[in-house]
Chains A and B, each alone.
Chain A
Amino acid sequence: MSGSVAGNGVVKVAPRVAMQFDQADRVYEPRRELGIRYHVEGIEPEVVRAIERSMLWYTEGKGEEDLGVHFFERIEDAAKLAQASPTGSFMVALPSSPLSYEGVVVKVRWCVRVRLFFGGGRDFVSEHVFDLGSVPPARGPLGRLE
């Protein structure tokens, strides 16, 4: 992910993306719909060349990061861009899996990302985590049977 300030001389301050989920605790059951409303602050809307809105899961922990995109949308068209920036919203039907998981060496996280693209190849990404399902955290490492 790149830095927060576009380097073409147009964007002078770091953008900020405020995001609202339609469920306050951000814990969603599988196959429900998730609604997102976001507002981009700190930049002029016209400096945004494109917006990417995505919903994905990724792994954290000791292993290499794996990533699975459930929903992806790139908006470049000027008319659509005006509707998506600075304020936009979208709804996505959640899948049945993988559920959010807090393991010992493997963790699965779900998030919504809004990525803004500026001139000169710069971009800014805002990530907001939510839970899919209510799986309790793993108890901890246990010794192997011998």
Chain B
Amino acid sequence: MRLPQFFGKKRGHRRTGSHLWGSFGEGLFYACLVAAGIVFGGLLLSGMVRYAPADGQPVPLPWAYAWCVWLLTMLIPGALLAFGGSGLTRVVRAWGKSEERRAASERMPEMLDAMGHAVGEAPGHPGVPTCDDLVNSPGTILRYRLPIESPESWTLFGFGLFAGLWNAVVVVLAVGAGFELVSGRTDWLLLALLVTFLAVGIGGIVVFVRALVLATAVGPTQIEICDHPLLPGEQYDVLLAQGGSGVFRSLELFLEVEELATFRQGTDTRTERTIVYREPVREWRDVQPVPGARFETHATIMIPPAAMHSFASEHNAIKWRIVVRGSPERWPVFVRVFPVVVFPAPAAISPVASARPFATVAGEVGS
């Protein structure tokens, strides 16, 4: 066995370092954590670590405090044991196994599962997400009402949470400053801090209210579809319903495909989203919903016959979606997204063919 090299090289997808030494180092790290947890926990439990107050006899640490505090001190060795033990188990289980074997053995519990497919995966279609969450809401006119994918809601929630928490801090500071003033003292530093915090708090409220008004003023958008999941080469009737009382300069309907790739950059985990397909379906101009009713219209979308199906794995995804872009007369342009799931074309799914003779073309050799 070769000795480990301190520096390795990355050659394409491969690294020059030894996997065995890498796994050994990883295992050693987790073993050290376990050992530290045992030693630390043992010292605490055995009473070898003593607390010596200035005015009393030294007592073993466990008896120096209330049981809940003592339990709290056991958190660190407990965490060391749990983290190190789970890591060590993972390293031992993967030791000497190829990545295919590891992946196959990870798949085993799914194979033993009565459903025979992974959670979140469409039955009979590996790598294709299920559409259960998209077909549990019946439509008013067509069969299904599609849920809206709204990152704006989370943004709104974030703004609201920030404004709430920040202003709670402002209230605490204000109460403290008020008591100071009532008692006849003036803490200028506290007052300066309060004014700064108050300005940020008011700013947070303004941003939240503005986002809330923008999210609610336009009126809800709904998409209903005649069938789901979608299949390549098929056409589907779609109902677009737009609420609100104002005039829309335009309402546009698009069919899009978005790729998502999640990767680690340093200690951050990032997701890159890229639109790789967009088909304008239809556009409506000068739309004015009747007061008390919503604007309703139909359109037909078609999934291209050779289209890629929806795909989802741990770090990568291909998502199909129906997108509505509206241009209200008095408000900024809005974009609302409705995810759909496209399955592989059934025409391509034919019974298993009989074996053919081997072609004479030799495969290339990789390493």
Contacts and interface: CB of A to CB of B under 8 A. Distances in A.
A63 B315 contact: yes
B355 A98 contact: no
A83 interface: no
Given A18-B363, A23-B356, A138-B277, A30 B311 contact: no
Given A61-B261, A96-B349, A126 B316 contact: no
Contact of B316 (A32, A61, A136): A61
Contacts, number: 213
| Most chain B Cβ neighbours within 10 Å, of A19, A68, A101, A133 | A68
Nearest to A64: B315
A123 B14 CA distance: 14
Contacts of A20: 358-363
Interface string B39-79: 00000000000000000000000000000000000000000
A69 B99 CA distance: 10
A99 interface: yes
Interface string A88-122: 00010101111101011110100001010000110
Given A99-B344, A121-B20, A24 B359 contact: yes
B182 interface: no
Nearest to B20: A121
A85 interface: no
Contacts of A120: 1
B350 A29 contact: yes
Contact of A128 (B262, B348, B364): B364
B318 interface: yes
A125 B344 contact: no
Interface residue range, chain A: 35 or more
A103 B278 contact: no
B109 interface: no
Given A30-B344, A104-B259, A98 B311 contact: yes
Contacts of B356: 22-23, 35
Given A20-B363, A108-B311, A29 B348 contact: yes
A33 interface: yes
Contacts of B259: 61, 103-106, 138
Nearest to B277: A139
Given A68-B313, A69-B100, A97-B128, A63 B306 contact: no
B357 interface: yes
A59 B101 contact: no
B359 A68 contact: no
Interface in A14-55: 14, 16-24, 29-33, 35, 37-38, 52, 54
B278 to A, nearest CB: 5
A101 B257 CA distance: 13
Interface in B334-367: 335, 344, 348-367
A113 to B, nearest CB: 6
Given A133-B348, A141-B274, A145-B325, A7 B359 contact: no
A145 B323 contact: yes
Nearest to B343: A97
Interface in B215-234: none
Contacts of B364: 128
B275 A98 contact: no
B355 A35 contact: yes
A98 B262 contact: no
Count chain A CB atoms within 10 A of each CB in B1, B261, B359, B363 and give the residue with the most: B363
B355 A22 contact: yes
Contacts of A35: 355-356, 358
Contact of A96 (B101, B257, B344): B344
B98 interface: yes
Given A22-B358, A120-B1, A96 B333 contact: no
B307 A135 contact: yes
25 contacts: A4-B367, A7-B1, A14-B367, A22-B355, A22-B359, A24-B359, A33-B354, A61-B259, A62-B263, A62-B272, A64-B316, A66-B316, A68-B126, A69-B103, A96-B125, A97-B126, A97-B311, A101-B318, A104-B274, A105-B274, A121-B96, A138-B308, A139-B276, A139-B277, A146-B335
Interface of A: 1-2, 4, 7, 14, 16-24, 29-33, 35, 37-38, 52, 54, 56-57, 59, 61-70, 72, 74, 91, 93, 95-99, 101, 103-106, 108, 113, 115, 120-121, 123-128, 133-136, 138-146
The 7 A-B residue pairs with the shortest CB-CB distance, nearest first, are A63-B261, A19-B363, A98-B127, A66-B313, A24-B359, A72-B104, A138-B276
